[in-house]
Amino acid sequence: MHVTVTTRSRAKGAFRVMPGFGLSLGFTLFYLALIVLIPLSAVFLKTFTLTWDAFWNAVTSDRVVASYKLSFGASLVAAVFNVVFGGIVAWVLVRYRFPGKKIIDALVDLPFALPTAVAGIALTALYSPNGWFGRYFEAAGIKIAFTPLGIVIALTFIGLPFVVRTVQPVLEDVERELEEAAACLGANHAQIFIRVIFPAIMPALLTGFALAFARATGEYGSVIFIAGNMPMISEITPLFIVTKLEQYDYAGATAIAVVMLIVSFALLLAINLLQAWTRNRGRARKF
């Protein structure tokens, strides 16, 4: 009888491991509100204590605008670098076998586990004018530490795992038979990559780009050491927010945070829409 009832329940779709839709949805909304919506609402509510003129002056001063350009610009450049070189790393880890592969695969996750302050100190020690690498760049007339270039390097470091870990499983699922069929039809290596492999991993690349970009825009610990924090030159927006908080200007800090939140959300929304369009286009091609 028990087996019969269970079988009938599964057939009707009534059997579920987790609780019902109402309870699961209620818990989901409560958890998201507690962890995400309420803190973000507090940021907006604190900002609303400012008048429009005070808000506009707080978010459009020359120093703040310069920090916007540096934060979003460096994050964009770092995310692009990670898409290119992170895709190459994922390709090597999936398609080739070589000694030490597991060690390299584990090293990819190092920026996840490494404290960001430690990463910043290490990068500064490497790329400072008297550092291991920095002394050679300095001799060639290239200054890395305490410049926007150093910020890009730090953001590239912390964003690489997002691209690799997003693209890697997709590459593993790409059917090798399609590549072999394209080769049998006379396609060369470039044509196989452009027409067969790239469309399959394009949504994953966009997802990795979005994750790396989002991570970089809010990065603080690994950047403040190598940036030099010079106003109008190498001062990032998260540092400016911390400076406002140290001055007890909470409303000014939340105003700048709101601008960063809105811009980041708009960029991520555009990337997600592009990703959905790419995925739907790929499905349309299959049919």
Task: Indicate whether 139 and 275 sit together in one domain.
Answer: yes
Report the C-alpha gap between 221 and 239 in whole angstroms.
9
Task: Indicate whether 165 and 275 sit together in one domain.
Answer: yes
Task: Indicate whether 117 and 205 sit together in one domain.
Answer: yes
Choose the weakest-confidence range: 133-147, 172-186, 197-211, 245-259: 172-186
Whole-model pTM: value is 0.82
Asked whether the predicted pLDDT for residue 258 surpasses 50, the reply is yes
Task: Indicate whether 160 and 191 sit together in one domain.
Answer: yes
User: Mind listing the pLDDT tens digit for each residue in 159-168?
Assistant: 999 999 999 9
Task: Indicate whether 130 and 234 sit together in one domain.
Answer: yes
Task: Indicate whether 110 and 176 sit together in one domain.
Answer: yes
pLDDT value, residue 19 = 59
Full DSSP string of 142-156: ---TTSHHHHHHHHH
CATH classification of the domain holding 56? 1.10.3720.10
Task: Indicate whether 191 and 179 sit together in one domain.
Answer: yes
User: Mind listing the pLDDT tens digit for each residue in 191-208?
Assistant: 888 888 888 888 889 889
* Short-list 28, 25, 2, CA closest to 15: 2
In the block, tokens 């998201």 appear at 32
Asked whether the predicted pLDDT for residue 7 surpasses 80, the reply is no
5, part of any domain = no
Task: Indicate whether 93 and 235 sit together in one domain.
Answer: yes
Beta-carbon contacts of 177 under 8 Å, excluding residues fewer than 6 positions away, are none
In the chain, how many domains are there? 2
Task: Indicate whether 78 and 202 sit together in one domain.
Answer: yes
Task: Indicate whether 149 and 27 sit together in one domain.
Answer: no
pLDDT value, residue 287 = 58
pLDDT value, residue 154 = 93
pLDDT (average), residues 59-70: 92
3, part of any domain = no
Expressed as residue numbers, the domain containing 37 is: 18-48
Q: How many residues does the chain have?
A: 287
User: Residue 231: left (phi > 0), alpha (psi -120 to 50), or beta?
Assistant: beta
Task: Indicate whether 139 and 250 sit together in one domain.
Answer: yes
pLDDT value, residue 228 = 82
Cα atoms found within 13 Å of the Cα of residue 109, Cβ hemisphere only: 8
Task: Indicate whether 79 and 153 sit together in one domain.
Answer: yes
